[in-house]
Structure 1
Amino acid sequence: MMNVHEIPKDKLPITILTGFLGSGKTTLLNYILTEKHGYRIAVIENEFGEVDVDSDLVLASDEEIYQMQNGCICCFVDVRNDLIDVMKKLLAQKDKFDHIIVETSGLADPTPVATAFFADRSVADEVNLDAIVTLVDAKHIDQHLYDPVLDGRDNQAVDQIVAADRIIVNKVDLANETGLAKLEGDLRGLNQTAEILRSEFGVVDLDNILNVNGFQPSYVKERAEILQIDMTAESDHEHHHHHHHGHLHDETVSSISLTFEQPFVLDKLHAVLTAYLDEKGPAIFRTKGILSMAGDDRFYVLQAVHQLFDLRPDHPWQDDQRRSKIVFIGRDLDRDEIERKLSSCLVD
């Protein structure tokens, strides 16, 4: 788990709670809101519905819940703008809350939701995207992951898993151990770094899903160590072939990890990342890393969702840890191209 001192000070942590239809998000949310954990939590819920925007952004004073029902938060720019407006209202009274949970609709891709928090600087400077938590229905998820009607590239169930910092396999009481082991192997094929938890009725140790600091550099390192991922080498899992029910499931989802001993030139790196993510960003779900910059004794935190990225200094390096590690998760990743572009930004 993260140490308390590693969590950004004076920033309001945000958890994005996602999962396919029927995975148990509301059950988990109710559990969080009724447990004695000491957090004061505000909730933003997004569901489908043809209702006026102004009448739906209503704060339920007893539960501190905002409901957004004027469209899917991941599909409509106007709804994401509404999300930012709600966030600004909450930030105006941030002393009342310790944590914000955004519950997406069951058909939402969580990455545009995460992107919204990077897009507005006044919000980005006040909040910390703590984690994307994805629930998976242990009994029914196969029919969504391997739906023969979909081509894989438009599969929200897959997108939700790929984007996750924590994956909760829910309803384990409805599955046997053999099925669970197979499912967890498939989940690991889609997402190499997320911790996988099991639950019944959404009951989990809340320390494993709140204040995990999933977008911070030490978390990337921690996940790599726990999962024994070699961040310097290409893993056998970087190309995933899933044959189920006669269906080839989106083999383009992969993860690329790179390590650099030499420091980067900040301006060059910023320009290269901007150009590369502008071009390839729609296919890149997440980018995150710990980066060393020439002439600066602090490590830099890189966190990105699709095209939008944030690169900023953090704490000073420890002398024995100064090396850059960066992870890309997405589709159709070209390792040689990425490594070549990043290497061009290193100090000669």
Structure 2
Amino acid sequence: MKLVPATILTGFLGAGKTTLLNRILREPHGHKIAVIENEFGQENIDNEILVQESNEQIVEMSNGCVCCTVRGDLILALGALAQKRDAGELSFDHIVIETTGLANPGPVAQTFFMDDEVASHYMLDAIITVVDARHAMQQLDEHEEAQRQVGFADKLLLSKTDLVSSDEVDTLVARLKRINPRAPVSKADFGQVPIGEVFDLRGFNLNDKLEIDPDFLAAEEHEHGHHECGEHCGHEHGHHEHHDHHHSRHSDDIAAFVFRSDRPFDTARLDEFLGGLVQVFGPRMMRYKGVLWMDGADRKVLFQGVHQMMGTDIGAKWPEDEPRGSKMVFIGKNLPAETFIRGLEQCLV
């Protein structure tokens, strides 16, 4: 049976998650969506409840969507919805999990890889983080949870941009990209965002495109001007960016750095080194992803992980006209960028 794509919707308290979700649930987009919420208020349901099974805390909306309140284990809730779907009692083709405003999305994401029953029914499509443009700078300064929500995101949606100046928006976007350069940023005031920017993003699927913001890389090159240094130029950029970040007014514990090389990796050495990294730094490695050039391989190797869970896949053949090389991005809390970069350099042929 086809896996049901799942979207994790997160964001700090008051960012506008529920506003976005309510708009999605009311829009005639043709999807039948099951929603799992940590807390479920009457204002979310309005007068659209058709069926309420109080024992199972499931409500069905008039447009065919289903909402489920979870105060217990997410694995059990996902399993119960899957059983009802398999039995023909419920119909849905997408699932949205709305976290509380103080939640760390990491454990929610890991649920989709750690439990066999969940993995047999669902595919994690993406983590969407709603960011309150009016209050985000202060929230990022004061709350690690806010930084984590940005760091884990596959897509960032800015709300309340009408309450701040364009310069303030630009400053916030620059900070968000320092924390997470691989997540595109869009505006979503009053929950207004096309459904295509929320669903079917395949942000967690291994694919050929390394989703690092091109402006992030260009800015590094412009700032450091190390083009004359040859092959080590790419390696150093992530290192310099990491330290540059701490010269700024806002010093976030969670930040990103990039490794690039135009030399192939030795497979055995890289496997051993990455295994060691995950053992030592796994709890602090929030998201990491890359396209790798392996020695002797005519196909790209695609690599990604969340905390201690890391996976690789074989990608497309290297095109004749495309220069071969590796690109990796690491997002985490107080990661020693230099240790990562020097170690990866030692794994090159």
* Shorter-chain TM-score above 0.5: yes
Report the TM-score range of the alignment, normalised by the length of the smaller protein: 0.7 to 0.9
Shift of residue 105, structure 1, vs aligned partner:
0.8
CA distance in 2, matches of 1:21, 1:261: 43
Any unmatched runs of 5+ in structure 2?
42-52, 222-233
Counterpart check, 1:115 vs 2:107: no
Provide Cα deviations, 1:187-236, integer angstroms capped at 9, x if missing partner: 23322232111122111122222222223455753543365546935155
Partner letter of residue 19 of structure 1? G
Which structure has the greater CA radius of gyration? Answer: 2
CA distance in 2, matches of 1:269, 1:306: 18
1:307: which partner in 2? 308
Change (3 A) 1:237 1:275: closer
Shift of residue 280, structure 1, vs aligned partner:
0.4
2:141, 2:252 within 8 Å by CA — same for their partners in 1? no
The structure in which a higher percent of residues are helix is 2
CA distance in 2, matches of 1:274, 1:196: 32
Identity, in percent, stands at 36
1:332: which partner in 2? 334
Change (3 A) 1:143 1:323: closer
Shift of residue 320, structure 1, vs aligned partner:
4.0
Provide Cα deviations, 1:124-160, integer angstroms capped at 9, x if missing partner: 465433221111122223332223xxxx6xx211111
1:290, 1:301 within 8 Å by CA — same for their partners in 2? yes
Task: Find the partner of 2:170 among 174, 181, 187.
Answer: 181
1:84, 1:116 within 8 Å by CA — same for their partners in 2? no
2:37, 2:68 within 8 Å by CA — same for their partners in 1? yes
Provide Cα deviations, 1:242-280, integer angstroms capped at 9, x if missing partner: 876xxxx54443222122444445555444323311210
Change (3 A) 1:186 1:225: closer
**1:1-348 equivalence runs, <5 A:** 10-47=2-39, 58-62=57-61, 63-70=65-72, 79-82=73-76, 85-86=79-80, 88-89=82-83, 92=86, 96-124=91-119, 127-147=122-142, 155-216=144-205, 218=207, 220-225=209-214, 227-229=216-218, 232=234, 233-234=236-237, 237-239=241-243, 240-241=245-246, 249-264=250-265, 266=267, 268-294=269-295, 296-321=297-322, 322-346=324-348, 348=349
1:87, 1:123 within 8 Å by CA — same for their partners in 2? no
Any unmatched runs of 5+ in structure 1?
1-8, 71-78
TM-score by length of 2: 0.76
2:212, 2:329 within 8 Å by CA — same for their partners in 1? no
CA distance in 2, matches of 1:278, 1:90: 38
Shift of residue 309, structure 1, vs aligned partner:
1.8
